[in-house]
Structure 1
């Protein structure tokens, strides 16, 4: 018997969940570092104001990881060179984290 060469085999180029978790971890570390090194909060802010940036920024990082996964693994379908796809996904990741930090800190430190 000969093995079936038409069977679809998927090469493991990195799991989507792993890239999203790495992006979320980068976002969480970044916002935790910022919140720890920042000055004392304004007493007029709500009591649990810190929860908002701790949720939104890791979500933005996870979406950056999602974008990285699709751009790097499917760059051929879009018609991009792999190096351009990597650079573009890095730029999108940084912009996404920046927007996540703005949305997370809106009304508190970003005012």
Structure 2
């Protein structure tokens, strides 16, 4: 008699991951677009298309923040962490990712 064991694995890459990354990227894009659009007189020493760098890099960092949120949610369900603590860590991690992306995207222009 053979014992039949079925291993159930859950995929880390899912629609929820893509949705959370998209939400993070959209939030980051809106925030950086509002910030960059408030510049009336850019420094003439900056490159002509200086706006493109933050508009590309910051949404990527926002998507990474959304991925971090998804990882923490995935861990919470698997390990049984406290929901409130996991939520706070997820939000702080997403804000740190957004801040680091803003520093990297605005480096050499508004972040001097």
Q: TM-score, length-normalised on structure 1? A: 0.83
- Whole-angstrom CA distance in 2 between matches of 1:40 and 1:28: 21
SS at match of 2:20: helix
SS at match of 2:61: helix
- Whole-angstrom CA distance in 2 between matches of 1:106 and 1:58: 15
Match of 1:73 in 2: 74
Task: For structure 1, list consecutive stretches of 5 or more residues without a partner in the other structure.
Answer: 1-5
Shift, 1:76, TM fit: 4.5
Report the number of matched residues.
104
Q: Which portions of structure 1, spanning 4 or more consecutive aligned residues, are displaced by more than 6 angstroms?
A: none
Shift, 1:95, TM fit: 1.0
Give the root-mean-square deviation of aligned CA atoms: 2.2
- Whole-angstrom CA distance in 2 between matches of 1:62 and 1:21: 6
Match of 1:93 in 2: 94
Query: What are the equivalent positions in structure 2 for 1:1-111 lying under 5 Å apart?
Result: 15-78=16-79, 80-111=81-112
Shift, 1:40, TM fit: 1.6
Match of 2:3 in 1: none
Task: For structure 2, list consecutive stretches of 5 or more residues without a partner in the other structure.
Answer: 1-5
Q: TM-score, length-normalised on structure 2? A: 0.82
- Whole-angstrom CA distance in 1 between matches of 2:96 and 2:58: 12
Shift, 1:47, TM fit: 1.2
